[in-house]
């Protein structure tokens, strides 16, 4: 193979955005080594600039003519671009939040950012990975960085405990995932590339054999862990409560988006002939997540724990789009994850701001906040109401699209369950709004009574304010002005080859099995 041919097959330009992130990561590390602590004033902005440059690079890759690169190991199609964008943007906002938070905890900012950037890198590669080893490596990059981030504030025993829990559960679920992946390698006669595996399984006439089903279940265990779908959710509440808050913000959006990107790519490419089966499993996961997430969130007293259960529930909503398995279904997932980025990061920014000023994140301590900090109250109220799906905020349009796509695909009971659990979710989201807005001045909590004077000129507060205002505005108007986002989401699905070709395969194959479960 001559060099020109090899270069064409590598097609390394596809991973330019990741390349920029790698350079930024190196830059951050080296600058920190040379300059030491003095660099922490601007090193965050360096990382943000790098990530934004990566997003711009992603923009120029939209509708790339030849998205397949690294001899099939990585596909830079529009679906991967949009997920990589979501992950990069969630890292940007996380850095905006963490500049002050990490300073205050007395740990090094540059190290934190370096680990965060490698998690971002893992997530971005995972979104486009289309080869088993590549998937596993990027998944591990994301996971290992996440363990480190969770235990980053190492003097805090809760953070340590959370990191241990996350590590033990995460490592074992990765192992389960690895078993599934190695089964796939064996079943397909030694293929590691996703579409080749599908062909190999068909060639070996193993379409719906037990081996494929076991591999499927093992793989779903790994995916379910990343998107924190019940019953693989147990780590979520504990990790969310113990880990530094910016880390959770990243885990709830970036890591979850990576999990969904993996789910779409893996399930549609490798398992088209057991589509009924994985849809059935995901229906069970979605039903459990929606019920458990929303009902248990009612009984939480800690803000971070409540949002942990809320994120389990939101994963359940997003899975409706995955089960629908239509173009509209995938597009509604993408759209929901986009608006979820705005609302969740806005909510977490407010929580960080509150805990920076008062040092607590109990829900009861928010009582009477509107008097002392109107901007924070507005931001948290809008983002929580949007998470609850109140019009005309972004979350309302996201949920409507999910339900509409689900209804179109005939998932009537799922949609009805989604509607009912949305009503439940309004109750616990409004509880926080009630604490902040409705309570009288004399019912103010101690934390709010001693609320420090609001100053945005302290070091690290300005980026928090910028993050808050930008996500707040996005949450408020992304619904009303949603047309560009809808077009983006629809195009990303329509222009993605794997979703368009596998649909043909799955309809051909699913015509073969004699019995189909009703109503799925």
Partner 1 sequence: MLSVLIWIPILSAIFIGFWPSSPNQTSRIRLVALTVAGIVLLWNVFILLKFDISNPGMQFQEYLPWNDTLGLSYQLGVDGLSILMLILNSLLTWIAIYSSSKQTERPRLFYSMILLVSGGVAGAFLAENLLLFFLFYELELIPFYLLISIWGGEKRAYAGIKFLIYTAVSGALILATFLGMVWLTGSTSFAFDAVSTQNLSAGLQFTLLVGIILGFGIKIPLVPFHTWLPDAYVEASAPIAILLGGVLAKLGTYGLLRFGLGMFPQAWSVVAPTLAIWGAISAIYGAVIAIAQKDIKRMVAYSSIGHMGYVLLASAASTSLALVGAVSQMFSHGLILAILFHLVGVIEEKVGTRELDKLNGLMSPIRGLPLISALLVLSGMASAGIPGLTGFIAEFIVFQGSFAAFPLPTLLCVASSGLTAVYFVILLNRTCFGRLDNKQAYYPKVLWSEKTPALILATLIIFLGVQPTWLVRWSEPTTTAMVAAIPPVEKTVISLLNQE
Q: Contact residues for partner 1 (CB under 8 A)?
A: 328, 331, 385, 390-392, 396-397, 400-401, 403-404, 407-408, 412, 415-416, 419-420, 422-423, 426-427, 430, 433-434, 437-438, 482-483, 486, 490
Query: Element (H or E) spanning 206, and its range?
Result: none
Residues 201, 146: Cα–Cα separation, whole Å = 34
DSSP string, 60-118: HHTT-S--EEGGGTEE--HHHHHHHHHHHHHHHHHHHHHHHHHHHTTS-HHHHHHHHHH
88/337 with CB nearer partner 1? 337
Phi/psi at 388 (nearest 5 deg)? -80, -10
CA dihedral 10, 16, 18, 22 (to 10 degrees): 100
The CA–CA distances, whole Å, from 166 to 144, 171, 297 equal 10, 8, 20
Residues 205, 195: Cα–Cα separation, whole Å = 15
Q: How far is the CB of 186 from partner 1 (least distance, A)?
A: 42
CA dihedral 114, 117, 118, 124 (to 10 degrees): -170
Q: How far is the CB of 107 from partner 1 (least distance, A)?
A: 38
55/331 with CB nearer partner 1? 331
Q: How far is the CB of 408 from partner 1 (least distance, A)?
A: 6
Q: How far is the CB of 495 from partner 1 (least distance, A)?
A: 16
352/448 with CB nearer partner 1? 448
356/393 with CB nearer partner 1? 393
CA dihedral 327, 121, 167, 29 (to 10 degrees): -160
- Residue 414: closest CA among 287, 288, 321, 293: 287
250/401 with CB nearer partner 1? 401
**Within a 10 A sphere around the Cβ of 483, how many other Cβ atoms?**
8
Q: How far is the CB of 386 from partner 1 (least distance, A)?
A: 11
Q: What angle do CA 78, 81, 82 make, to 5 degrees?
A: 90
Q: How far is the CB of 474 from partner 1 (least distance, A)?
A: 17
Angle of helix 43-61 relative to helix 109-128, nearest 10 degrees, comes to: 10
192/332 with CB nearer partner 1? 332
Q: How far is the CB of 388 from partner 1 (least distance, A)?
A: 9
41/434 with CB nearer partner 1? 434
Q: How far is the CB of 83 from partner 1 (least distance, A)?
A: 20
Q: Across the strands, what pairs with 129?
A: 74
Q: How far is the CB of 416 from partner 1 (least distance, A)?
A: 6
CA atoms within 13 A on the CB side of 367: 14
393/447 with CB nearer partner 1? 393
125/342 with CB nearer partner 1? 342
Query: Element (H or E) spanning 510, and its range?
Result: helix 497-510
């Amino acid at each position: 193979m001559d060099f020109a041919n090899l270069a064409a097959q590598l097609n390394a330009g596809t991973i330019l955005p990741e390349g920029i992130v790698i350079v930024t990561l190196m830059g951050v590390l080296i600058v920190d080594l040379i300059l030491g602590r003095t660099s922490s004033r601007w090193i965050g902005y360096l990382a943000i600039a790098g990530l934004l440059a990566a997003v711009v690079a992603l923009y120029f890759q939209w509708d790339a003519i030849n998205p397949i690169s690294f001899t099939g190991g990585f596909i830079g199609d529009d679906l991967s671009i949009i997920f990589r964008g979501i992950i990069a943007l969630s890292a940007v906002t996380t850095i905006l939040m963490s500049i002050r938070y990490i300073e205050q905890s007395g740990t090094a900012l540059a190290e934190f950012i370096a680990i965060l950037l490698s998690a971002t890198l893992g997530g971005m590669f995972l979104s486009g990975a289309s080869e088993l080893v590549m998937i596993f490596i990027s998944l591990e990059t994301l996971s290992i960085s996440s363990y480190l981030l969770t235990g980053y504030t190492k003097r805090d025993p809760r953070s340590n405990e959370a990191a241990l829990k996350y590590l033990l559960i995460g490592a074992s679920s990765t192992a389960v995932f690895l078993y599934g992946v190695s089964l796939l390698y064996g079943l397909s006669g030694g293929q590691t590339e996703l579409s080749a595996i599908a062909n190999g399984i068909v060639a070996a006439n193993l379409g719906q054999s037990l081996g494929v089903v076991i591999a499927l279940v093992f793989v779903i265990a790994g995916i379910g862990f990343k998107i924190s779908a019940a019953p693989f959710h147990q780590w979520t509440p504990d990790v969310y409560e113990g880990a530094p808050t910016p880390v959770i913000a990243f885990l709830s959006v970036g890591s979850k988006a990576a999990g969904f990107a993996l789910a779409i790519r893996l399930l549609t490419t490798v398992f088209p002939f057991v589509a009924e089966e994985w849809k059935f499993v995901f229906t069970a996961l979605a039903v459990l997540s929606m019920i458990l997430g929303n009902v248990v969130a009612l009984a939480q007293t800690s803000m971070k724990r409540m949002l942990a259960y809320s994120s389990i529930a939101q994963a359940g909503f997003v899975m409706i789009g995955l089960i629908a398995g239509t173009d509209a279904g995938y597009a509604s997932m993408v759209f929901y994850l986009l608006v979820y980025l705005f609302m969740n990061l806005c909510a977490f920014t407010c929580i960080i701001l509150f805990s920076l000023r008062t040092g607590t994140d109990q829900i009861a301590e928010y009582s009477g906040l509107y008097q002392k900090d109107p901007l924070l109250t507005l931001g948290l109220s809008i983002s929580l109401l949007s998470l609850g799906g109140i019009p005309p905020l972004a979350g309302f349009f996201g949920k409507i699209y999910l339900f509409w796509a689900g209804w179109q695909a005939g998932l009537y009971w799922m949609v009805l369950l989604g509607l009912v659990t949305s009503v439940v979710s309004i109750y616990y989201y409004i509880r926080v709004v009630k604490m902040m807005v409705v309570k009288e001045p004399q019912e103010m909590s101690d934390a709010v009574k001693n609320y420090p004077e609001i100053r945005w000129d302290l070091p690290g507060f300005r980026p928090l304010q910028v993050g808050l205002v930008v996500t707040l505005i996005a949450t408020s108007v992304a619904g009303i002005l949603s047309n560009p986002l809808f077009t983006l989401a629809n195009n990303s699905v329509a222009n993605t080859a794997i979703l368009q070709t596998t649909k043909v395969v799955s309809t051909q194959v699913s015509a073969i099995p004699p019995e189909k479960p009703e109503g799925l």
